[in-house]
Chain A
Amino acid sequence: MRLLGRPPAPPLPVVAEVGSATHAGRVRPKNEDYLLTEVPDDPAVAAVRGSLFLVADGVGGAGGGAIASAEASHVVLQEYYLDRRGDPGRHLRRAVERANLHVYNLRMGHPDLSGMQTTLTALALCGRRFWIGHAGDSKLFLLRDGELRQLTRDHTVVEDMRRLGLVDAPAAGRHRHRHLLTRTVGGDVLLAVDLVSGRCRPGDGYILATDGLFEHLTPEDVRTAFTNSPPAEAAAACVAEANRRGGFDNLTVLGVRLMG
């Protein structure tokens, strides 16, 4: 017999496994991607801010891209955890905005790095919800009940063209200008950060990846890898396979799986 009253709340989703892999690829001389994983030990921090995962893909030669992606990632990490009051989503957005200003100021102050910018996709898992802060064309997928769904929208010219009906989806994937970005961290003084939020479910998988991976792999390849293997193995396998198929760009993938 069930007692009258509210049913017991389901258990809080807990991060079960995290795994990642990053590689320069076989063509570019340097890896300008960056990734970060933060699962706080302090229960007080974990309760109000949860965990943070992010990938960033630096733009701009002469080493600037690597600086932009690393700087932006660390600013987001710092800003997100610095203030523990208020809504995690609002904080995540503000953290990405601050990272944008930081990279913008850096490149303004260093003429040799004037082209540096970065994409950035950050996932915050806190309580029963997730938040995504996003700018650029790195991608975040939700793997739930065996299905993979992209939760971020690419900020590229070709994606805008696709939405306008100028090119169809297969043509967009092959389009010569598919890497032309319309939004980046550090590109301009103001950045409109995409913020996506949703409810976590036990067993959810979250996959963050930079665009280089999808030069060679399809989302279905990624779904298969992360469905059949733990995140660390799946991430390594994806990067190895992308390299085997040419490794034209830097490759980064990060997977998070919640307790089932």
Chain B
Amino acid sequence: MPNPGDRVGHYVIARPLGKGGEAAVYQGRDLESGRAVVVKVLEPSQLGEVAAFERFRREVAIGRLLKHPGIPRLLDVHDDARPPYIVLEYMDGESLRSIMEAQRRLPVSRALEIATSLAEVVAYCHAHRVYHRDLKPENILVDAAGRVKIIDFGIALLEDAPRVTWRGFSGLVGTPEYMAPEQIKGERGGPQTDVYAMGLILYEMLAGRPPYRSANPLSTMYQHLNMTAEPLRTYRDDVPVPVAAIVARAMRRRKEERFATAAEMHAALCHPETVDTSVLERPDPPLGVPLHESLTRHPLFVLGAVAVVTAVLALLAEMILRH
């Protein structure tokens, strides 16, 4: 893999930006035009993986298809190089993650501005039948004018997971904090998967923490399927009820109960006064094994019930033995 200062074609590598299971991403400079670019190089260990190369080629196809100021343009493709690489437009902006780190809870108006801009870019992708499937604050840039840019379509292409290890998990199959229930269940994910992630991101911008989070990825997945997120307005009462309703609808566990597309969510964000707020009152039943939640939520009650049943059985056994 290249190091800073190395030349790749007519590009010079400036610094690494990130590394996933299948590719490494660098900031570079085009020696012909002088402009900053992003160079994405296929991981050499993936060269023999038919599926990985196929995904690489489809990323190229998507890059050629999407032309929007919120999505980096595909500038150059070298799929016959060893290792193959593509060159993308370098986009300026601050990552939503670092914005949220600097200010844990964003003002409602700022959070709504970002969410609306995000929904607009995602709606454009959905209109072209491209679904991102890994939207998260790290993949979202916000420029000085408040416009959102989505920078990683790495798993938008994911048809079948390659044979990789847990270490590469978040880079290849979505990040557990932002995975939709249907992805956890094994589905590929569609427009409602992006809607779910956008709901989680808006929730996090307003609440200052993601609704489901744990040190263990499996436990986070469990929470998506079974736990109920703390209502937004328990964190702050300046969140308007219609905004809380938009978040709640986007985060419904069953995809058919969410906004059908990003365009629908975008319309709701633009006109919150039209939103049906009854979703806040409707239960959202778990999708997994319910006993675990009752154990987690009411452990004393469950353990007490087990103790009572055991005691009754012991008494019965003693009575039977005496007689």
Contacts and interface: CB of A to CB of B under 8 A. Distances in A.
Interface of A: 27-30, 59-65, 111-117, 157-158, 160-161, 164-167, 171-172, 174-182, 184, 187
A167 B186 contact: yes
Interface string B37-73: 0000001111111101000000000000000000000
A157 B160 CA distance: 15
A180 B176 CA distance: 14
Given A113-B45, A166-B222, A28 B50 contact: yes
Interface residues of B, number: 33
Contacts, number: 96
A29 B187 CA distance: 27
A29 B51 CA distance: 12
A157 B169 contact: yes
Given A61-B49, A115-B43, A157-B169, A179 B186 contact: no
A166 B165 contact: no
Contact of B218 (A161, A171, A176): A161
Given A157-B218, A164-B292, 7 more contacts: A27-B50, A28-B50, A59-B165, A114-B45, A166-B225, A176-B187, A179-B162
A179 B52 CA distance: 14
A112 B44 contact: yes
Contacts of B162: 179
A180 B164 contact: yes
A176 B45 contact: no
A119 to B, nearest CB: 10
B186 A176 contact: yes
| Interface of chain A, main secondary structure | loop
B197 interface: no
Given A176-B187, A177-B173, A180-B161, A165 B288 contact: yes
Interface of B: 1, 43-50, 52, 160-167, 169, 172-173, 184-188, 218, 221-222, 225, 288-289, 292
A29 B52 CA distance: 13
**Residue among B163, B225, B288 with the highest chain A CB neighbour number at 10 A:** B163
23 contacts: A30-B48, A60-B45, A61-B46, A61-B52, A62-B48, A64-B48, A65-B48, A111-B1, A113-B45, A115-B45, A157-B166, A158-B186, A165-B292, A166-B288, A176-B173, A176-B187, A177-B161, A180-B161, A180-B165, A181-B163, A181-B165, A182-B166, A187-B165
A177 to B, nearest CB: 5
B218 A164 contact: yes
A180 B186 CA distance: 12
A161 B184 contact: yes
A176 B188 contact: yes
B160 A176 contact: yes
A180 B222 contact: no
B218 A166 contact: yes
B163 A63 contact: no
Contact of A176 (B44, B47, B161, B289): B161
B45 A64 contact: yes
Contacts of A172: 186
Contacts of B167: 187
A233 B160 CA distance: 32
